[in-house]
Amino acid sequence: MAVKIRLARGGTKKRPYYRIVVADVRAPRDGRFIEKIGAYNPMVPKDHPERLVLDEERAKYWVGTGAQPTDRVARFLGDLGITEARRIPNQTKKNQLKAKAKERLEEKRLAAEEAAAAAAEAAAETSAEAEGAAE
C-alpha cells in the first residue's frame, strides 16, 4: 500500500485550515486517513507558534517506513530537519519575461554600461586636464 503524508483541507470558504495526515494515495484528499500527525494554519502570521503544529516523532516514523511527503509537507519537514529540504518546483513560467522583453532588458543594460563607461572616460579626461592645468 502506497502511503503519503499530505494536507487535508478543512475550515470554511476563504479561511483554510489544513490537517497534516498520513493517508493511502487512493483515498480522497479530505477523506479517509490513517493517522493525523499535525496541523497547518496559513491564516496566522508566519512567526506564530500555532501556524505549524507537527508531531515530529510520528513524522520521522512514517518517513522511515517509506511514506512519501507531498511538496508542501516536504518543505515543512525540511524546515524542521526531519528530511532534506525540497524546493517546490515552479508550476508555470508566467512570471518569467518573454523573449522580446528579455531583449529590451538586455539592450537597456548594454546602454547603461556604455553610458557608465563613457562617463568614467570623460571624468578621467577632465581629471587629466585639471592635473595638466595645475602644473
Tens digits of per-residue pLDDT, 104-135?
A: 999 999 999 999 999 988 888 887 777 766 66
Residue 71 belongs to domain spanning = 3-80
Q: Are residues 25 and 56 in the same domain?
A: yes
Both 10 and 67 in one domain: the answer is yes
Asked whether residue 52 falls in the same domain as residue 110, the answer is no
Nearest to 52 by CA among 65, 42, 63, 64: 42
Q: Do residues 12 and 54 both lie within one domain? A: yes
Domain assignment of residue 85, yes or no: no
pLDDT tens-place string over residues 33-51: 999 999 999 999 989 999 9
Q: How many domains does the chain have?
A: 2
Which pTM does this prediction carry?
A: 0.63
> In terms of domains, do 37 and 97 share one?
no
Per-residue pLDDT reduced to its tens digit, 67-100: 999 989 999 999 888 887 777 666 677 778 889 9
Amino acid at site 82: I
Same domain for 100 and 54, yes or no, is no
